[in-house]
A and B are shown apart, each in its own frame.
Chain A
């Protein structure tokens, strides 16, 4: 913008120029408002990348284990139990993969025991998903159902 002002006849373009300069001065309150808006959006927005695990399969009540053909994975404080014995994570995924080879629709139920952290259970859910399990769900252990 030019800083020299024309003192000569007040033509239309001169008036436009003058109006423009006046609006420039009142820019400050606008900037104040924009700053406040900026602060608000900076503080109020979250950038956490949330994901989700689908646990749709409707598991039945713990008292009646009526789900036929489902694989049951027990998560305990001292390890993972599958098909009657303690297994490691690699062995679990391997055996689940074999079990799912002929019936991919098979449901897999994960049953955490008392005091097992959710994070550990989620690790096992992850491993099972990686093994190709489509229908995954959590199940209540028998004792927990009575206590609560």
Chain B
């Protein structure tokens, strides 16, 4: 039909994309502001559920403890002695450094305590255990 052809000129195609662009821009801004970039974890970790109110901060060192007891520091796997050494180096530079323990809730509590003890031996004062809020 001739009629429908004249109804949709070429120019109109570009203009109808504008609302789409607006929405996409809005989404982009939302995700940029609301989402924090996830640091890559060395292991799959499901932190324990806790009713704790205090928000986790994102400064300091992050120590990850997997369910099977493996440790990683800032995304790189290492063993307990190496962790102690690295933590001591970092704590020498800044004794007030916060240490975040991101441990799996299904893991052994004794393993976490052993890592905490190692961090305290290295001079760590500020220890935080990362948890997630209940559903």
Which residues of A approach B to under 8 Å, CB–CB? 1, 3, 21, 24-25, 27-28, 30-31, 34-35, 37-38, 41-42, 44-56, 58-59, 61-62, 75, 111-123, 125-126, 129-130, 138-141, 144-145, 148
Contact = CB atoms under 8 A, between A and B. Distances in A.
Interface residues of B, number: 56
Given A47-B34, A50-B131, A122-B129, A116 B21 contact: no
Nearest to B120: A58
A58 B131 CA distance: 20
B104 A51 contact: no
B93 interface: no
B4 interface: no
Contact of B52 (A25, A51, A113): A51
A133 to B, nearest CB: 12
B24 A34 contact: yes
Interface of A is mostly: mixed
A117 B108 contact: yes
Contact of A50 (B24, B56, B114): B56
A52 B47 CA distance: 10
Instruction: Name the prevailing secondary structure of the B interface residues.
Output: mixed
Nearest to A35: B24
Given A31-B17, A75-B109, A118-B108, A50 B35 contact: no
A129 B52 contact: yes
A111 B116 CA distance: 12
B15 to A, nearest CB: 6
Contacts of A123: 50
Contact of A112 (B9, B113, B126, B128): B113
A117 B106 CA distance: 6
